[in-house]
Structures are given as structure tokens and as C-alpha cells.
Amino acid sequence: MAARVLETIVDLLKGGTTERMLTIGAAIAGIGTVAAVITVLTPMLLPMQVVEVALAVLLAANALGAAVVAIASLQLRRYRSGGPYRKPLGPLAAFGAAKSVALGNALALFVHAETPVTARLVRFGAEKEVVADRVLDLAATPRSAVFDRRRGYDWPETARVATDGLRPGLHAVELASTTDPGRRWAVPMIVKPRTAPDVAVVLSTNTWEAYNTYGGLSNYENFHLFRALHWIIRHTHALPRYYWPTLTDRRPNDIVSEELLSCETPDADHHSRLIGAEWPVLAYLERQGVDYGVYSDDDLVRDPTLAQARLLILAGHAEYWTGEMAYALERYVASGGHVVIAAGNPLFRRVDRIPGGLIVDPLPPSEEAVTRLIGTFYTDNGKFTSAPLTVDRPDHWIFAGAEVEADQVIGARSGFRPWQDDRRHEDGASGVFTQKVGFGSGAFEILATGLNEEGPAHVVFRETEAGGWIFNASAAAFSCCLDRDPVIARMMDNLLESALHSERAAPRPATRLVG
């Protein structure tokens, strides 16, 4: 309702800037309020003193409202221009030029350090492995604190990290102050294989940026605008597109850095929707000896080797998708590919790739379009809850060798837990953000259902006309059961067996899907 009212006001007052519309609208509302009160509270009905007090209060309230609208207008004008803003920097921070690099290429690093730092390289495979204790020694490199919301930080390149001789996969460059080793920062570095692997794992790098607050901006917080204005920008189309949240790549990522540094084993309990939910998939594949490669969201569109993989796995919190990514997934499915979705909120938010970052559409994509492609869609029903699953189709080949029965409880233990204090005791593969069947899910069959009191996850499956299939666990907690529940592990084993050894899974020609 609020969105419609705002859009109506914009339509009625079109022809001026948004700031002018807000100011005019507030002035009209204020004048109308005062006039109405004067008309009702006449001296004939109330003592003059009461009327004067009421008028004084109303005039003060209107003056305050006008001041708020004026400040908001100035904020919007400055926000539209892109900045710059001066945000205080901590003692150490860094970011890379890209989320992923092909094996043999180097990653450019941009580092802000108040003291000299040393760096080491670690890899997230079956375990957290130190690849090299000392990759770089860097002098103190303090950088400018000026942040531009569209262009990020204009820092010069500090160093490059070579990838020659590395094993492909998820890596991190860990920086530590030489004077205070407790001051640390980690930069993610996905090293892609040169040739197409059997299994391609796409990490949710768009979501990494959506949750990144460094510089005072994320899709959920904006330290440059009033909270109400940011809410309007995030949830409506009432303001023009250039006001929508812009997420620049040229800035450190404090949330991802913290997770890279704190994650010590893929099997530990955690409350993470990012690295902590992605690493268990990589660890499982490596322990199984599977030929796999790791990719970023952009690689789903830009890297032609992905289209050749026999199996495509979406891991983590795959919430933020461009239209080109959805198109690439549709192309892959239509060509007979096999897809495992072991991620939360897949395809739930629309973003556009712009030079140096992303811009977030305030409204989600069509629920029916998403469910027709992947079988389920996220809703807030059951948000922050977790529970085990019950088996609906024990005769399906995905349960082969697991010896399960109808209504049997599986996936009772997961490393992915809700973080609300009153729900710490809850556990299971159906959480923490669950997807459900709905309009467009008719081609999918439900293999298992969560036991959540509200909003249970629907584990769904569909065979495609091209000879492939799509499996959707409908919750990120599912992948965090791989090392804890033998039935969940057996399901993944059967999916791998089907995708890697089926005659239908012949590699497809290498094509760049978009661009």
C-alpha cells in the first residue's frame, strides 16, 4: 500500500526531480493539516488559548517535518551523485581485483595498512590447508578513506598474488600486522581450473557483496541516508533506478574476511550463510576424490568451461542473481545438464551487473518463473527455524542403498543453525531459510519435507526432457548435514553417480553464454 501511494505521488508530480517532489508533497500535506485543524478547532467551540496551543504545536511539527524533508532531499541529491563520502578506515583492510582468477593468472591486491604486514595463502578443501606461510611482505600503506558509492575506494594496486602451481579451489590471502599479529584481514581468491571439471561449484559471490557493509553501504544498511529513505529504496519502485542500492566491488569485505579467518574446519557448527555454508560442499567433493572446480557468480555467465561440466552445484546463499545468470542456468538445463541446488534463497533477488559492481532491484523476480526453473521459492514463512526432514518418496533412486521408509526422519543434525537465542536448540536439514513448492512447481516431485511447524523445506526433483535433472534441497542447511547424516551423504553420492556416469551427461560444446 505504501509503495502504491508513493508511486501515485510521483506520477502526479512528475516533471521535477525526486527531491522537489518530496518537498512539494510535504508542504501540501502540512498546509492541508493546518487548514483542517483551524477549520475544526474554531474559537466558537474551544477557548482561544487551546486553539493557539494546538496551532503552535502543529506549526512546530510542520516545521520539523519540513526540515526533515529538506535534509532527506539533500541526502538523496548527494547519494545520487555517487559521493564521495569519508568513512573511517581501520588499521588493516584489503580487497582483490576480482572474485576469481584462472589458474596461472595473478590476483591484484589493494591493501590499506597502518603498519607493515605479512601474508600467507590458505586453501579451503577437505581441511583448511596453509599453502604458503609467507607469500608477501608489505610495507605500511595507509590509503584514502574517501569512499564513492559507485566506484568504491580509489586505492592504487599494492601487490599481485601469483597462482602458478596452485591447486584450483577456494583460497584466501591472509594478511597480518607484523607489529600486532592479532590484526588480520582475509581476501577471498577463487582459482579456477584451466579445463572443464566434472563438477562445477558456483559460490554465491553476489550475496557476498549484498551483505558487505564496508564503506557504509550494503543492500540492508545505508549509513548515508535516513533509515526510512533506505527502506523506501529497498522495497519499492517509488524512486528512480539510480537511487537503488549500488554495491561496488572495489572495497574490502568485512563479513567474508571474518568468516575466512574464523572458519577452521568444514564440519563445525556455525551461523554463517556465506563461507561457512559453502565450504562443506567443497570438503565433501574433495574427500570423495571428485574432479571439481570452483567459480564465482559472474563465471556462470562469462566462463565457457562451466557449460561443459557434467554437474553444476549451487552452494551457500545463492540469493542475488542477474537475468544473464538465470538465462545461463536455463541453457545448461536445456542442454541436458545436471543441477544440484544446495543453497539458501536461490534466485530470490534480482541484480544487474554494472561497471565495477551490482545494482539491486527492490522487487523480487516472478515466483512462478523461479519455481518453474528450480521447483521451489523462498518465503518468510518459517524464517530462522530448522528441523529434520521426513521421506516422501523412499522408492526414488536418490535413496538407493539408504534403506529408508516412508515418513522416516532424516537430516536431524546439521552444522548450520539458527542464530536467534530462543531457537538454538533447533537443528536439521530443513533450515535456516527454506524454499517451498508453489505456482509453477508442478513438474517437480517432492522427495522429502521438513518438520518445521511453519514453512518447511520441500526437497524436490525433476528429470528434464533433455536427459538431465534438477535436484533442489531448498535449504542451505542440507549441505551442512553431509558429514553428520549417512542418508544425506548417500543422497549426494547417488546424485554424483548419476551425473558423472550417465551416458546422457556428455560434455557440451564450450560457449560463452553471454557477452
pLDDT tens sequence across 309-351:
999 999 999 999 999 999 999 999 999 999 999 998 999 999 9
Report percent pLDDT > 70 for the chain: 80
Q: Which residue has the higher pLDDT, 438 or 40?
A: 438
- Predicted confidence at residue 509, as pLDDT, reads 47
Confidence class of residue 504 from pLDDT cuts 50, 70 and 90?
very low
CA angle 82, 86, 90 (to 5 degrees): 130
pLDDT over 50 (residue 169): yes
Q: Which residue has the higher pLDDT, 82 or 252?
A: 252
- Predicted confidence at residue 497, as pLDDT, reads 96
pLDDT over 60 (residue 514): no
The mean-pLDDT minimum among 226-230, 241-245, 381-385, 474-478 falls in 226-230
Rounded distance between C-alpha atoms, residue 205 and residue 303, angstroms: 15
Q: Is the dihedral of CA 249, 432, 450, 268 positive or negative?
A: positive
Of 280, 279, 314, 311, which Cα lies nearest the Cα of 296?
Answer: 314
Rounded distance between C-alpha atoms, residue 37 and residue 358, angstroms: 47
Q: What is the mean pLDDT of residues 347-365?
A: 92
- H-helix or E-strand spanning residue 121: strand 117-124
Ranked by mean pLDDT, which of 28-37, 54-63, 493-502 comes out on top?
493-502
| Residue recorded with cell 545438464 | 337
Confidence class of residue 267 from pLDDT cuts 50, 70 and 90?
confident
Cβ atoms 99, 212 nearer than 8 A = no
pLDDT tens figures, 440-478: 999 999 999 999 999 999 999 999 999 999 999 999 899
- Predicted confidence at residue 359, as pLDDT, reads 93
Residue type for 457, please? Answer: A
Beta strands in 204-356 (DSSP E): 246-248, 292-295, 311-316, 320-321, 338-343, 349-354
Residue type for 278, please? Answer: E
Rounded distance between C-alpha atoms, residue 386 and residue 271, angstroms: 12
pLDDT tens figures, 17-44: 555 555 666 666 666 666 666 655 555 5
DSSP symbol at 232? H
pLDDT over 80 (residue 4): no
pLDDT tens figures, 414-429: 887 766 555 545 789 9
Angle between helices 227-235 and 48-81 (to 10 degrees): 60
- In a 13 Å sphere around the CA of 169, the CA atoms on its Cβ side amount to 25
Q: What is the pLDDT of the chain when averaged over all its residues?
A: 85
Look at the chain and count its residues: 515
Burial code (b: 16+ CB inside 10 Å, e: under 16) for 265-302 equals ebeeebebbbbbbbbbbbbbbbeeeeebbbbbbbbbbb
- Predicted confidence at residue 25, as pLDDT, reads 60
Of 352, 306, 349, 354, which Cα lies nearest the Cα of 329?
Answer: 306
CB contact set of 40 (below 8 Å; sequence gap of 6+): none
- Predicted confidence at residue 36, as pLDDT, reads 60
pLDDT tens figures, 74-92: 666 666 656 566 677 889 9
| Residue recorded with cell 578506515 | 89
Rounded distance between C-alpha atoms, residue 342 and residue 326, angstroms: 16
Of 190, 191, 119, which Cα lies nearest the Cα of 159?
Answer: 119
Rounded distance between C-alpha atoms, residue 168 and residue 280, angstroms: 16
Cβ atoms 306, 192 nearer than 8 A = no
The distance of Cα 317 from the centroid of its chain, to the nearest Å, equals: 6
